[in-house]
Structure 1
Amino acid sequence: MPHVSVLILPGWQGSGPDHWQMRWAAQHGYTVVEQDDWVRPRRGDWLARLDEVVVDTPDADIVLVAHSLGCIQVAAWAAVSRHTARVRGALLVAPGDVERPELREQMPGWTPIHRQRLPFAATLVGSQNDPYCNHERAQGLASDWGARWVDLGAAGHINTDSGLGDWPEGHALLQELMNPMAG
């Protein structure tokens, strides 16, 4: 079985050192896709950067781990990239609903959300009390994207404030995407 590279895609303003994404990167050597501007994200720049990293990744198989705006980035990237065949799967956690008026103002250029079925396996983890995307909306995105839906209960935005620490349950979901035959 070929080696699988994991690319971490933080959301708006990046993920701090205590965020489960950064903990996973430190513990497992996963690659964080850095952006030039975390505060004023430009969709075209973020998509181009992801495409560049995917092309430059030496391993044949890639799994994406996206949080918040990173989930919206994955859907938009999958709609335009010629390199989606390199991706084995995506773990999409707490998508940020950039079509909500208050988020649309802060992140212009990210609407509409691409809602086509993703060309690779995906698992979307949502929360019943996410302040950036209501439960039904997250379920709808999972359905549109063809992603397996996982309800984490009342876990907020599934970030540092959620108190997940290393979030081993989430890492188990990632392992399922990395080794689909192991389950």
Structure 2
Amino acid sequence: MNYELTPTILMVPGLRDHVPEHWQTLLEQRLPKARSVPPLEHDKLSCGARVAALDAALARISGPVILVAHSAGVMITVHWAAQHKRQIHGALLAAPADIETPLPPGYPERQTLEQNGWLPIPRQRLPFPSIVGASRNDPLARFERVQDMAQDWGSRFVDLGEVGHLNPPAGFGEWPMAETLIRRLVLM
């Protein structure tokens, strides 16, 4: 296999950044060409700072890239795509957080998200192939809303079943399906 042509997998975590037992962290440790957008030291709620961090991480990678985003990381990815033109091989967008609707306690309020540049959610077609995975019982996004986002982004849609927010509190450290979906993107 020609590893120069094999895409680098770049993890785009959500607002909680890097959680040791999260499937993204575990996947990064297991895959040979995987990296992660580094956590922010300042402006942790700034969408612009997070988009800039994603862009800086991409600038350090030569060759094809597959983005693997979770939760607010999906929103970072779609904001980045609306502002930048770098070619991306594909993106796995797992359990996007619907930040346009009220989030449960413990998450930023709509006004805070709006003040920090997160709203509105970009809805234009993504300039690269993508797969959106949605949970039927995600406390941060209704299934139908995620379906609508996937359609607007031109993404393939995958029903993940009842997996909560696809994070450690929902019982997900390892998530083997991520590798299957990444392989699909490699072949797209």
**Normalised TM-score (structure 1):** 0.90
Per-residue CA distance 1:84-133 (angstroms, 9 max, x = gap): x1x10000000011111344245342000000000000000000110001
- TM-aligned CA distance change 1:116 to 1:38, over 3 Å: farther
Q: Secondary structure at the match of 1:12?
A: coil
Aligned to 1:107: 113
- Output the amino acid matched with 2:25: M
Aligned to 1:145: 153
Question: In the alignment, which of 6, 9, 14 is matched to residue 11 of structure 1?
Answer: 14
Q: Please give the alpha-carbon distance, in whole angstroms, between the structure 2 residues aligned to 1:39 and 1:143.
A: 31
- Output the amino acid matched with 1:128: R
- TM-aligned CA distance change 1:38 to 1:118, over 3 Å: farther
Q: Please give the alpha-carbon distance, in whole angstroms, between the structure 2 residues aligned to 1:73 and 1:118.
A: 13
- TM-aligned CA distance change 1:38 to 1:107, over 3 Å: farther
Q: CA deviation at 1:41?
A: 1.9
- TM-aligned CA distance change 1:4 to 1:98, over 3 Å: same
Q: CA deviation at 1:22?
A: 0.4
The 8 Å contact of residues 75 and 114 in structure 1, kept in 2 or not, is answered as: yes
Q: State the aligned residue count.
A: 177
Q: Secondary structure at the match of 1:124?
A: strand
Aligned to 1:154: 162
Aligned to 1:88: 89
Percent identity reads 37
Q: Secondary structure at the match of 1:45?
A: helix
Question: In the alignment, which of 159, 177, 183 is matched to residue 185 of structure 2?
Answer: 177
**Normalised TM-score (structure 2):** 0.88
Q: Which moved more, 1:93-102 or 1:67-76?
A: 93-102
Q: Please give the alpha-carbon distance, in whole angstroms, between the structure 2 residues aligned to 1:17 and 1:39.
A: 22
Unaligned runs of 5+ in 1: none
- Output the amino acid matched with 1:147: S
- Output the amino acid matched with 1:179: L
Q: Which moved more, 1:155-164 or 1:125-134?
A: 155-164
- TM-aligned CA distance change 1:95 to 1:121, over 3 Å: same
Q: Please give the alpha-carbon distance, in whole angstroms, between the structure 1 residues aligned to 2:38 and 2:95.
A: 19
Instruction: Find runs of 4+ consecutive structure 1 residues off by over 6 angstroms.
Output: none
Q: Please give the alpha-carbon distance, in whole angstroms, between the structure 1 residues aligned to 2:173 and 2:102.
A: 31
Unaligned runs of 5+ in 2: 104-108
Per-residue CA distance 1:42-89 (angstroms, 9 max, x = gap): 11111111111112202x100000000010111111011132x1x100
Q: Please give the alpha-carbon distance, in whole angstroms, between the structure 1 residues aligned to 2:70 and 2:41.
A: 16
Q: Secondary structure at the match of 1:101?
A: coil
